[in-house]
Amino acid sequence: MSLSPKLEFRQTQSLVMTPQLMQAIKLLQLSNLDLVTYVDAELERNPLLERDEREERAESVSEPDRAAELAEDRASAADAEDGRPDWLETRLEISPDAIADRLDTDLANVFPDDHGRASGESTPMPATDPWSTPSTRQSVSSDDYNLEAFVAEQRSLTDLLADQLGLAIGDPTRRLIGYALIDEVDEAGYMRGDVEAIADRLGAPVELVEETLALLQSFEPTGVCARNLTECLAIQLRERNRFDPPMAALIAHLDLAARRDFNALKRICGVDDEDLAEMIAELRALNPKPGAAFDTVPIQAIVPDVIVRAAPDGSWLIELNTETLPRVLVNQSYYATVARTSKKDVDRAYLAECLQTANWLVKSLDQRAKTILKVSTEIVRQQDAFLAHGVQHLRPLNLKTVAEAIGMHESTVSRVTSNKYMATARGIFELKYFFTSAIASSEGGEAHSAEAVRHRIRSLIDAESVDDVLSDDTLVKLLRDSGIDIARRTVAKYREALKIPSSVQRRREKLSAAVTSR
């Protein structure tokens, strides 16, 4: 057997993940905020890209039109001046004698408050406010003021504790320990550091650190600087003068309260049903996170990518939210100018790469918008009953159904529905919300959506009374009577996903609420 080299020509097809294709896939799954950030970075990096501001310029009034409007206003003002009486002149008379001659009377008759003040006497200027600062005495008409100076500053929990520490402690050593303890307080108001570790780091006695921590726990808000939930609730109860032995026993067994094991709590605390209900009501009135009101992060409002409106003929109008779509253009004229003047091969290669990247980015953004609109249109077509009648009419839907309807791959539909939102008359929903699993019908009809079944379970539990608390088996029977074939473990799973306690816990809670209301 002899081995020899030879040449062969073969024609094959293969899918290669080029950088451009990877960029298109990345853009497809980005949210609108991430997309804006990505495009801004590309605008800074690529000199051939620029924002499309044509629509903004079209919305604004052009300068010739503005000048024409200003000329019309001036002409109207001039016409009005011709017909107005002479006493409406805007020309000011400085001399008192001239004013008296024009009005043909003495100034004392016109300005009785002057009490015949001499014509040459000037009106005294108001005295300067001694409490005013130079910045407040500036002219109001100044264009240099900063609007942000009028915005109220949001104080953090650390600042509040530091201010109280400066007023409560004068000893520099204890103040240093107090600042070290404040640095260990988290956003919920709990002191997460170890006292012995802090004392070892500062070289201070543990007793002094404990004493300083006890002082910090007396600061506002009540319950701050506690090391755990039990200590936080105890501080608040002491502030209300309600930390008696039964209450101490209750907060020492919060796990039983969470499980609503009221019989065990009554035995441990030594109280009856009425007293226990009052104690639990007081416990619920406490704040488990005293620092939550500070250091708050502004909630970012959800901006929908697709807007759905009802048409007059009963259909639905689906359109993209143009506010979330960044518009960029390729500056071809700038490329032509620079390409003519560039002489080095490196510069030409760089310009060619920038032009290719810019063209591909514009194409990818356009393709992304078209794909989102196509997927959203199919979702609206599939979930027409939900938009018209509510969540109980939500149909089971999967990615394969939408992908086959629009002629795309399931992975593409999955990327499109990630971090994208649709604004409807029933609220703003993520596109993935409309994809739910199917639950068979007990009567052999059309399958039910899992989200619609969850909504049905919540409705049944909300309508139950204290004397008729529905167990999971009862829920299964009621659902099967309404045409939903579902297993008991599925009902339990949906109930836990909705964060609804079991029937035993709900019965205890309702009985406790009934005793408290009496």
CA distance 450 to 455: 9
Look at residue 99 and tell me whether its pLDDT is greater than 60: no
105-119, 185-199, 311-325, 487-501: least confident range: 105-119
Instruction: Give the pLDDT band of residue 101 (cuts 50, 70, 90).
Output: low
Task: Give the tens place of pLDDT for each residue, 477-486.
Answer: 888 888 888 8
Number of Cβ within 10 Å of residue 99's Cβ equals 16
Task: Output 203 or 141, whichever has higher pLDDT.
Answer: 203
What pLDDT is stored for residue 137 in this prediction? 42
The pLDDT value given to residue 1: 60
Please check the confidence at residue 144 and state whether its pLDDT lies above 90.
no
In whole angstroms, give the CA distance from residue 265 to residue 252.
Answer: 10
Selection from 454, 464, 473, 478 nearest residue 509 by Cα: 464
Q: What is the pLDDT of residue 280?
A: 85
Element (H, E) at 428: strand 427-430
For 393-410, how does the pLDDT look when each residue is reduced to its tens digit (9 = 90+)?
888 888 999 999 999 889
Measure the N-to-C terminal CA separation of the chain; round to a whole number of Å.
Answer: 101
If you average pLDDT over every residue of the chain, what do you get?
A: 78
Residue pair 391/455 in contact by the 8 Å Cβ criterion = yes
Phi, psi of 423 (to 5 degrees): -95, 120
Residues 22-34: pLDDT tens digits? Answer: 878 888 888 888 8
Q: Do the beta carbons of residue 498 and residue 453 sit within 8 Å?
A: no
347 — pLDDT class (breaks 50, 70, 90): confident
Angstrom CA distances, 108 to 113, 116, 204, 362, stand at 8, 5, 81, 77
β-pairing verdict for 421-424 and 49-51: unpaired
**What would the mean pLDDT of 321-347 be, rounded to a whole number?**
86
Look at 260 and 469; give whichever has higher pLDDT: 469
The pLDDT of residue 179 is above 70: yes
Which residue(s) pair with 309 in the sheet?
A: 317
Give the tens place of pLDDT for each residue, 72-98. 555 554 554 454 444 344 444 445 566
At 120 the pLDDT is: 43
Confidence class for position 122, pLDDT limits 50, 70, 90: very low
Six token digits for residue 502: 């079991």
pLDDT band at 142 (very low <50, low <70, confident <90, very high): very low
Q: Is the peptide bond before 221 cis (omega within 30 degrees of 0)?
A: yes
Q: Which residues does 81 contact at the CB level (< 8 Å), separation at least 6?
A: none
What is the percentage of the chain residues whose pLDDT exceeds 90? 9
Give me the count of residues in the chain: 518
Burial of 446 (0-12, 13-18, 19+ CB in 10 A): exposed
CB-CB neighbours of 480 under 10 Å: 14
Q: What would the two tokens of residue 459 be?
A: 């409705």
146, 439, 451 from 431: Cα distances, Å: 42, 20, 14
Task: Using the Cα atoms of residue 467, residue 469, residue 471 and residue 475 in order, give the sign of their dihedral.
Answer: positive
The answer to whether 428 and 418 are in contact (CB under 8 A) is no
pTM for the model stands at 0.57
Kindly report the backbone phi and psi dihedral angles of residue 319, in degrees, each rounded to the nearest multiple of 5, phi listed first.
-145, 155
Rounded CA separation 504/510 (Å): 10
Rounded Cα distance between 493 and 457, Å, is 11
Distances in whole angstroms, Cα of residue 210 to Cα of each of 43, 140, 181, 205, 406: 56, 53, 10, 9, 67
**The predicted structure's pLDDT at residue 306:** 93
Contact 236, 224 (CB under 8 A): no
pLDDT for the residue numbered 138: 44
Nearest Cα neighbor of 231 from 188, 264, 274 is 188
Note whether 39 and 368 are within 8 A (CB).
no
Please compute the mean of the pLDDT values over residues 6-17 and round it to a whole number.
79
